[in-house]
Copies of this chain bind each other. A is one copy, B any other.
């Protein structure tokens, strides 16, 4: 049921076009996946996501496990039915959020013990438990339970963590049964250390997952370092499987990732920026609360064809943000998601036309990178 189809490799770089076939539809890659942390892409309806041509959305296992609870979502008929979204859904493993809890969590070989950030209650998530939760949620793509190693981190720490992630990946694979309806992706870790990335990729790909993610990047390291790690890590992954770079959503990171052979990426960036009144535009990022937009009756982005830019002025949107009106967050979210989804469409076209490098160069110049 789940299959990656390689359509074309760029003549200019490692960028590639593909299709991911899932039971809930085909995803054209490279793709940006908007995030709906708590079973809703913040401020948006599923119909609006569809109108934006969002091909797949991401949801967060940790949050849904705590509230409303994966049993409740199972009882509701699964996450798709619960939230009224018929397209593909990818769920993370919960690992990233659990490890982010810092003092609130304790890692053991068996799994991670932690206290809820909501009410302090005690919980335990193991690779098996993560699989169970994601099985209950019924996502189309599941992620193996891993540790996203922080940056910076010592060689020793990253090595131990990476080796445990590989052992956990095996346990995930052994636990997860309904592989026909839910594809389980493995995650390559290893921090910024080349030999550890090699070792991780070897261990994870040996388990033969239908797709692979690269974790532990875009965690605070300089962009050049991320690119360097991507350069050699992507080469360690099989060509016939999709490659997913976790946590990337700024235009430049997307370009750099695609150039290095990444097929999928996700980030809360566009939706979070939106709620703070920051808009991605063809001329760079703008903050609408700035006084100079007070009587600016132009659209957010002259070149943009989204609902927001077709119907509203900067002055009006600034007014909405000044008054903390919900419509402000809505219009901004629509715009930023449209911007990134449309950017990925144009990137796909540029790969098709072997014009990616030039397209990237022009985009960077206008955006101000």
Contact = CB atoms under 8 A, between A and B. Distances in A.
Contacts of A72: 294-295, 315
Contacts of A294: 68, 72
Nearest to A46: B311
B45 A316 contact: no
Interface of A: 38-40, 42-45, 67-68, 72, 75-77, 82-84, 294-295, 297, 311-313, 315-316, 318-320, 322-323, 325-327, 329-330
A76 B295 CA distance: 8
10 contacts: A39-B319, A42-B326, A67-B319, A72-B294, A72-B295, A75-B295, A76-B295, A76-B315, A77-B297, A330-B330
Contact of A40 (B75, B84, B295, B320): B320
Contacts of A313: 76, 82
Contacts of A327: 40, 42-45
B325 A326 contact: no
Contacts of A329: 326
Contacts of A76: 295, 297, 313, 315-316
Nearest to A320: B40
A39 B316 contact: yes
B40 A312 contact: no
Interface of A is mostly: loop
Nearest to A327: B40
B84 A311 contact: yes
A113 to B, nearest CB: 24
A303 B237 CA distance: 54
A130 to B, nearest CB: 21
A293 to B, nearest CB: 11
B67 A322 contact: yes
Contact of A68 (B38, B67, B82, B322): B322
A338 to B, nearest CB: 15
A295 B77 CA distance: 12
Nearest to A72: B295
Contacts of A326: 42-43, 326, 329-330
A342 to B, nearest CB: 20
A40 B329 CA distance: 13
B68 A319 contact: yes
Contacts of A77: 297
Contacts of A295: 72, 75-76
Q: 6 closest Cβ contacts across the A-B interface?
A: A43-B326, A68-B319, A40-B327, A84-B311, A38-B323, A40-B325
A340 B311 CA distance: 27
A219 to B, nearest CB: 26
A235 B225 CA distance: 80
Given A39-B316, A82-B316, 18 more contacts: A39-B319, A42-B326, A42-B327, A43-B327, A44-B327, A45-B327, A45-B330, A67-B319, A68-B294, A68-B318, A68-B319, A72-B294, A72-B295, A75-B295, A76-B297, A82-B315, A83-B316, A326-B326
